Amino acid sequence: MRPWIPLPVFLFCVLCLCSPAAAQLPEIPSAWSGIWEMSVTERDCGSEVILDSWTESDTLCAGDAFAFEEVPGGLSPECIGSVDDTALDFSCTASQEVFTGCTATITVTLQATRTGETMAGDVTFDVVYTGLCPLPDQCTVQDYTGTRVAAAPAECAQVPAVTASWGAWKSRY
């Protein structure tokens, strides 16, 4: 089985917003295709305190859609943005009632630039609670850098996009 589509870590989700069938999600251009070694540092948005850091290897396949894991219950977010051979700027927002009278609005913003065999960018996860919610708002940013270490594997041409792409790595939340 081919690894999940990361775009950095490569690129990200908490409750995971976007449906794989969402028509507005762009495809990965061939310029981003390959196996990437990624270094990620996660920090709190407000305090800038570093929460975690790690490295990992991710595979991107040309033609696969950038996608977040589908949320149980069919949550359908609004996604806007663009991707080309050198840049990604993408954002998805969705709201869901987490319990009676408490709604969570989740926004995931992805930004990256690619120059040759390197990439850098960040992912912001912002959760805002409204209504009768005893939960505090949450915001984290993952800064990442990556180096392409190999071309895309043969499996890229043989295996369709995994429907649970970025959610796999976000399971750490």
pLDDT of residue 161: 42
| Secondary structure class of 31 (helix, strand, coil) | helix
pLDDT tens readout for residues 113-170: 999 999 999 999 999 999 999 889 999 999 999 999 999 988 887 544 434 334 443 4
Across 35-59, average pLDDT: 94
Q: Please name the helix (run of DSSP H) or strand (run of DSSP E) that holds residue 7, with its range, or none.
A: none
- Chain mean position to CA 146: 15
Q: How many residues does the chain have?
A: 173
- Whole-number Å distance between alpha carbons of 67 and 3: 14
pLDDT at 89 over 70: yes
Q: Which residue has the tokens 């290897």?
A: 57
pLDDT at 50 over 50: yes
Q: Which amino acid is at 167?
A: G
End-to-end CA distance of the chain, in Å? Answer: 24
Confidence of residue 92 (pLDDT cuts 50, 70, 90): confident
pLDDT at 43 over 90: yes
pLDDT of residue 9: 29
pTM for this model (two decimals): 0.71
Across 24-34, average pLDDT: 82
Tokens of 169: 């790595």
Most confidently modeled range among 53-57, 66-70, 81-85, 92-96: 53-57
pLDDT of residue 53: 96
- Whole-number Å distance between alpha carbons of 162 and 137: 30
pLDDT of residue 83: 87
Q: Which amino acid is at 143?
A: D
Q: Please name the helix (run of DSSP H) or strand (run of DSSP E) that holds residue 111, with its range, or none.
A: strand 102-115
Q: Which residue has the tokens 């981003």?
A: 32
Q: Which residue has the tokens 């976007």?
A: 18
Count of CB atoms within 10 A of residue 147's CB? 14
- Mean pLDDT (the chain) is 76
Count of CB atoms within 10 A of residue 133's CB? 15
Count of CB atoms within 10 A of residue 61's CB? 24
Of 69-73, 86-90, 106-110, which range is least confident?
A: 69-73
